[in-house]
C-alpha cells in the first residue's frame, strides 16, 4: 500500500519497567512518610490539648507595657476587620434585644470599637474602661453627653452607679481569677442586670467558662466561627437570684 506510512512499534526496554516500579515505590514510601508526619503532628496537638486541660487555669500573660506598645504600634487594628465582626455583632444584638436603651459598662473597652458600632439610640449611658492610656486616648474621640471613657485598672476601679449590662469582651482570660473579677462587678449590676462575656475559643481560655459558670447561670450562649477557623463563644450570665427577688 503505497502512500501510507506505518509507525514502527515502540520497543520498551525492561529497564523502563524497573524504573517505573522504583518511582512508584518511592512515591508510595514518600506518601507513607508524609502521612506518618501528619499523624505525629496531630497526635502532638491532641496531647498538648489534653495536657493543657489537665493543668490549672493560667491567664494569658500580657503586661501593661505590652498592651501600651501594641496599641501604640496599632497592632489591634485587625479588631476592626471583618474577621472580628461576628462576635461584636452578637454582643450588640444582645444589648439591643435584651436591654434596649440600657446603661452599659464596657470592661476592657480598648479603643472603643463596641461603642463605635452601637447606635446612639440603643443605650442611655455608656462607660468604657481600660488600663491602657493609649487605648483610652484613641477612644476619647467618641465621648459625648452619654459616653465616657476612663483609664483605670479593672481590679481597683469603682463603677459610678449601676448598669443594665456589663460587657467583658475578650478580657477575662487576662486575669488570674476571672470569677473574682465578675464578683467584684456584681454590685454594679441592677437587680435584673446581666453580664455579657465574649471569649475567643482556645484550650487555654476554655477553663474560664468552667470557673464562672460554677456561680453564674448562662441564660443564652452563641458560638460564631470565621472562615479563618477562629471562633468565639458569647454568653449572657446572670447572678443567681435569691428567693423573692
pTM for this model (two decimals): 0.77
Q: How far apart are CA 93 and CA 220, in angstroms?
A: 12
216 contacts 185 by C-beta, under 8 angstroms: no
64 contacts 131 by C-beta, under 8 angstroms: yes
Q: Would the pLDDT of 123 be above 80? A: yes
The set of residues, in sequence order, having a beta carbon less than 8 Å from that of 30 and lying 6+ positions away, is none
Q: Would the pLDDT of 147 be above 70? A: yes
Q: Would the pLDDT of 7 be above 60? A: no
pLDDT band at 65; cut points 50, 70, 90: very high
Q: What is the pLDDT of residue 89?
A: 97
Q: What cell numbers appear for 190 in the block? A: 441592677
Positions of E strands within the chain: 102-107, 123-130, 147-151, 163-169, 189-200, 217-225, 231-238
Q: How far apart are CA 226 and CA 232, in angstroms?
A: 9
Q: How far apart are the first and last CA of the chain?
A: 108
Q: Would the pLDDT of 22 be above 60? A: yes
Q: Would the pLDDT of 85 be above 90? A: yes
**Closest C-alpha to 113, from 152, 94, 87:** 87
Please report, rounded to a whole number, the percentage of residues in the chain having pLDDT higher than 70.
Answer: 80
Strand order in the sheet with 217-225: 147-151, 123-130, 102-107, 163-169, 189-200, 231-238, 217-225
Q: Would the pLDDT of 244 be above 50? A: no
Q: How far apart are CA 95 and CA 101, in angstroms?
A: 9
Q: What is the pLDDT of residue 243?
A: 43
Burial degree of 102 (CB within 10 A; 0-12, 13-18, 19+): buried
pLDDT band at 232; cut points 50, 70, 90: very high
Q: What is the pLDDT of residue 55?
A: 55
What's the mean pLDDT in 65-86?
Answer: 94
Q: Would the pLDDT of 34 be above 80? A: no
pLDDT band at 52; cut points 50, 70, 90: very low
Mean pLDDT score of the chain? 86
pLDDT band at 50; cut points 50, 70, 90: low
pLDDT tens, position by position, 90-110 = 999 999 999 999 999 999 999
Burial degree of 232 (CB within 10 A; 0-12, 13-18, 19+): buried
Q: What is the pLDDT of residue 8?
A: 53
pLDDT band at 57; cut points 50, 70, 90: confident
Amino acid at each position: 500500500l503505497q502512500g501510507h506510512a506505518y509507525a514502527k512499534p515502540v520497543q520498551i526496554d525492561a529497564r523502563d519497567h524497573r524504573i517505573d516500579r522504583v518511582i512508584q515505590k518511592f512515591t508510595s514510601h514518600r506518601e507513607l512518610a508524609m502521612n506518618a508526619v501528619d499523624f505525629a503532628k496531630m497526635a502532638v496537638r491532641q496531647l498538648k490539648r489534653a495536657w493543657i486541660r489537665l493543668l490549672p487555669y493560667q491567664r494569658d500573660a500580657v503586661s501593661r507595657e505590652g498592651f501600651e506598645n501594641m496599641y501604640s504600634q496599632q497592632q489591634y487594628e485587625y479588631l476592626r476587620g471583618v474577621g472580628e465582626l461576628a462576635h461584636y455583632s452578637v454582643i450588640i444584638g444582645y444589648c439591643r434585644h435584651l436591654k434596649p436603651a440600657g446603661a452599659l459598662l464596657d470592661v476592657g473597652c480598648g479603643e472603643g470599637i463596641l461603642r463605635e458600632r452601637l447606635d446612639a439610640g440603643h443605650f442611655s449611658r455608656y462607660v468604657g474602661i481600660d488600663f491602657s492610656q493609649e487605648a483610652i486616648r484613641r477612644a476619647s474621640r467618641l465621648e459625648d453627653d452619654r459616653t465616657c471613657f476612663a483609664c483605670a485598672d479593672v481590679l481597683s476601679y469603682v463603677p459610678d452607679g449601676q448598669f443594665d449590662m456589663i460587657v467583658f469582651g475578650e478580657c477575662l482570660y487576662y486575669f488570674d481569677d476571672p470569677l473574682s473579677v465578675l464578683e467584684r462587678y456584681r454590685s454594679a449590676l441592677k437587680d435584673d442586670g446581666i453580664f455579657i462575656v465574649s471569649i475567643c475559643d482556645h484550650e487555654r481560655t476554655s477553663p474560664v467558662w468552667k470557673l464562672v459558670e460554677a456561680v453564674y447561670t448562662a441564660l443564652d450562649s452563641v458560638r460564631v466561627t470565621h472562615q479563618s477557623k477562629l471562633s468565639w463563644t458569647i454568653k449572657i450570665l446572670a447572678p443567681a437570684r435569691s428567693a423573692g427577688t
